[in-house]
Structure 1
């Protein structure tokens, strides 16, 4: 599934990307043209004022509550029946699909201990970000489990 989120949903976008979802964030003016230019995506907003317009424009959408990104994530996953698995297959910053890379290629891009003990590195071909399942990965899994308990 492909999503288009309004700009104030950046944290939600990042977590959806952790789950392997194709997510763009609409920065700037929200109008029919800016939404339609992004192709066939489900528009995610926290503003009910867009609901009538989105219906008129034939845009698929979901309106989420405004304040709590964890509740937003729960509701979105349930609504679209998305499996909550940390795939880490997309860049959390620019949405590009990550590529597996040889450890030597990223030697100068990661801390020495990460290079020495890390494995299974991926890199974003667009922004050049480097990612790995380090000590943060179990914390991310726990955080996701805790979030899902709130649903």
Structure 2
């Protein structure tokens, strides 16, 4: 299966952590654990998404147009499986999509950054981002540094 860098995904209820890592890498990844299997397949097919699932039965009997049966257990191993199977290319930037709701982030205004960031975070260098979907605020702090280090170890050829 050869995919383009702009591949879009739909992760089933068992793959929430994988969905977050894909979003960190700027891959459009829908995740809603409340969606049942037939609806998952219909949504993936309608939106042209690759269905990511650990459910062999779903793949065999509901036959989504495009799917990856995730066989690995750890989220970063699952991420590597998706990258290898779909032949994904590294993104131009990390942390450009909301990890919670999947919406592309926008730069926060100065007022938003000043009022929404915790006090210590205001002193950190780097841009502040805001999710127009769920209104979360993101900035380059220790959490993102740890995630970058984790990705560097898991995908050294990418970062």
Same fold (TM > 0.5) = yes
Structure 1: gaps of 5 or more residues: none
Partner of residue 81, structure 2: 75
TM-score (norm 2): 0.82
Contact 1:103 1:119 in 2 (8 A): no
Partner of residue 4, structure 2: none
Work out whether 1:17 is the aligned partner of 2:23: yes
Work out whether 1:126 is the aligned partner of 2:133: yes
Deviations 1:44-87 (A, max 9, x none): 001111122243xx520000125211211111011112234552
Task: State which of 107, 115, 118 in structure 1 corresponds to 2:122.
Answer: 115
TM-score (norm 1): 0.86
Q: Distance in 2 between matches of 1:77 and 1:61?
A: 13
Count, aligned residues: 147
Question: How many angstroms does 1:126 deviate by?
Answer: 1.1
Partner of residue 12, structure 2: 6
Q: Distance in 2 between matches of 1:26 and 1:20?
A: 18
Q: Distance in 2 between matches of 1:37 and 1:137?
A: 31
Distance 1:84 1:140, change over 3 A: farther
3-state secondary structure, aligned to 1:73: helix
